[in-house]
Structure 1
Amino acid sequence: MGKDKGLAVVTGASSGIGAVYAERLAARGHPLLLVARRPDRLARLQEELSREHGVSVKTLVADLESPSGLADVEKRVAADDVALLVNNAGAGGLGKSAEMTADQLERIIKLNITAVTRLSHAALTSFRKRDAGALVNIGSVVAHLPSAGSAVYSASKAYVLNFTRSLQMEYAGRPIRIQLVMPGPIRTEFFSSQGLSDSVFPTEAYLTAEQLVDAALAGLEAGEEVTVPSMPDVRTWNSLETARVAFMKAIMSGEVASRYHLTPQGSRPVRPGA
């Protein structure tokens, strides 16, 4: 990544994690295409990065919730000059589903699932032609955290996890890089934009966007498929993967578990942990 300084596309580039990715990639000499909904912020970032790093910085104002906006970005991402796509744009949508409208829930799905899927597909279609390129999908540790306050959001990030991990298996052995980045709590506009306080997590749990991106880029350079910047011991992830494999092996018994068999009296046996 970065040797040929090919074009890097960053979605959700106008603030937070996306803006830091843009700065770090510009500092590495990548020409940039920055995608976001807010033209004023994009214009300021474009001017700043061009001045400070002397690289070509272009912008594309697009709303990835809109089919036409997504199609515009999709078409550009599929071009032969794109070397790196950072799929960063997404929606938070924290709160109980009962207190949200169906349209609000659909917005999360459009940004966190549909846009990520279509842009990944477009980028990989181009990468296959050249046997080169890098795809970075920004997931979240909440993929492992079902929550009464983030049903669709956590589900959407579980999709990003399984989608990206499956792509990694599909492209194993090819010179195409696919990385899943799994942030924990990050100090950005994520909470304030939803009218929430950062106090939802302990202060010491937070990383800055700069810390996250620097770790993610280091992980990409090191060849990591999954990067969890705030996880001190990689054995934690390895244990999770071992448990997942054991679970899949266990469900292949071809038998109904004894806890689901009725006793002669018609009652069910006591389940483990009951």
Structure 2
Amino acid sequence: MKILLTGKNGQVGWELNRLLPKLGTVFALGKDQMDLSKPETLGPVIQGIRPDLIINAAAYTAVDKAESEPEQAMTINGVSPGVIAEEAKKVGAEVIHYSTDYVFDGKATSPYKEEDPTCPLNVYGKSKLAGERAVIQAGIPYLILRTGWVYSLRGSNFLLTMLKLAKIRNTIKVVDDQTGGPTWARSIAAATTCILEQRLKEGATKSPILPHSGIFHMSCGGETHWFGFAKKIIELSGLLEGIELVPIPTIEYPTPAVRPGYSLLSNRKLKQVFHHEMPPWQDALRECMDSLPR
């Protein structure tokens, strides 16, 4: 199987690039080779490689910055995924595309299911929802994998921010009224690879997605709020005794982008269809932090 991976230097892309080679030949491209801010340049790249599967792990992920750069966010997250899907159709490829829990408005009281109504509150969520719809509209076999609160030891994310603050502050204020599921980038990559590996074992060498096209939620198990996430990070870092963590409501920490108060995703469909269970968020975080330089 020939796989084209976009966003190889991102959190999820970096992890995928280390797991996918066991499934076939991987063409892992970064922004310098496949720039989603320039949709008109994507076709020739895809036509040149002619992959069996395209995994789009590239995205505009700066949630707050997107409020002041809506066109850029929409181009990368909303327009380019559709272009990728249309070009995939021309070469007979399937597409895996990642999306977000921020397509929901946070008014639910139980974990969101794939078929629940979407209503994004911010530019980032709107752009990602547009990307979902563009991929679906192309009419090709696809998997749209929604996740949320992604972290790793690379890039810019909540885990690295907390570790940095713990070294320079004695008191850290963290929002405690937004609920979700922290998800390690490696857990996402491992689950994606597991799905594909399972399908290949079933003999689906050229069409690993058929007959399971659709949207699936893929986040680590359990739930917490940002304060609970921060507390676990500081606890596992061994710095808990020297840091005072202060829970605050969202209203005391205003940001350019409005975030849903509840964005927990249900993984039930993922488990039912692909028989894959995501790890509890605490276990994934512990494993991630175990690899930190000491």
* TM-score of the pair, normalised by structure 2: 0.54
SS of 1:32 mapped into structure 2? strand
Q: 1:218 is matched with which residue: 163, 180, 194? A: 194
Q: Return the alpha-carbon distance in structure 2 between the equivalents of residues 190 and 179 of structure 1.
A: 25
Spell out the pairing of 1:40-59 with structure 2 (5 A cutoff): none
Tell whether the 8 Å contact from 1:145 to 1:154 is kept in structure 2 after alignment: no
Q: Which has the higher helix share?
A: 1
Relative distance call for 1:154 and 1:196 in structure 2 (3 A) is: farther
Partner of residue 216, structure 2? 227
Q: 2:135 is matched with which residue: 164, 172, 192? A: 164
Q: Answer 1 or 2: higher relative contact order, Cα 8 Å, separation at least 6.
A: 2
Give the residue type in structure 2 aligned to 1:234.
K
Partner of residue 11, structure 1? 6
Q: Which runs of 5+ in 2 are unaligned?
A: 108-119, 164-173, 200-211, 220-265, 273-294
Structure 2 residue 39 is matched with structure 1 residue 63: no
Q: Return the alpha-carbon distance in structure 1 between the equivalents of residues 144 and 11 of structure 2.
A: 18
Give the residue type in structure 2 aligned to 1:74.
G
Q: Return the alpha-carbon distance in structure 2 between the equivalents of residues 107 and 146 of structure 1.
A: 25
Please state how far the C-alpha of 1:61 moved relative to its aligned partner: 2.7
Partner of residue 81, structure 2? 116
Spell out the pairing of 1:82-121 with structure 2 (5 A cutoff): 82-95=51-64, 100-101=67-68, 104-121=69-86
SS of 1:112 mapped into structure 2? helix
Give the residue type in structure 1 aligned to 2:57.
N
Relative distance call for 1:108 and 1:75 in structure 2 (3 A) is: same
Q: Return the alpha-carbon distance in structure 2 between the equivalents of residues 96 and 120 of structure 1.
A: 26
Relative distance call for 1:122 and 1:146 in structure 2 (3 A) is: farther
Give CA-to-partner distance per residue, 1:202-260, whole Å, 9 cap, x none.
Answer: 7982121111122233345453522212234339x9xxxxxxxxxxxxxxxxxxxxxxx
Q: Return the alpha-carbon distance in structure 2 between the equivalents of residues 16 and 71 of structure 1.
A: 25
Of all paired residues, the percent bearing the same amino acid is 13
Tell whether the 8 Å contact from 1:20 to 1:213 is kept in structure 2 after alignment: yes
Larger Rg: 1
Superposition CA RMSD, Å: 3.7
Structure 2 residue 108 is matched with structure 1 residue 180: no
Q: Which runs of 5+ in 1 are unaligned?
A: 38-59, 128-132, 172-176, 238-274
Relative distance call for 1:200 and 1:234 in structure 2 (3 A) is: farther
Tell whether the 8 Å contact from 2:143 to 2:215 is kept in structure 1 after alignment: yes
Give CA-to-partner distance per residue, 1:106-127, whole Å, 9 cap, x none.
Answer: 1101110121111211111111
Tell whether the 8 Å contact from 2:82 to 2:135 is kept in structure 1 after alignment: no
Give CA-to-partner distance per residue, 1:153-196, whole Å, 9 cap, x none.
Answer: 010121123333444xx34xxxxx31111112211456549x97
Give the residue type in structure 1 aligned to 2:46.
V
SS of 2:72 mapped into structure 1? helix
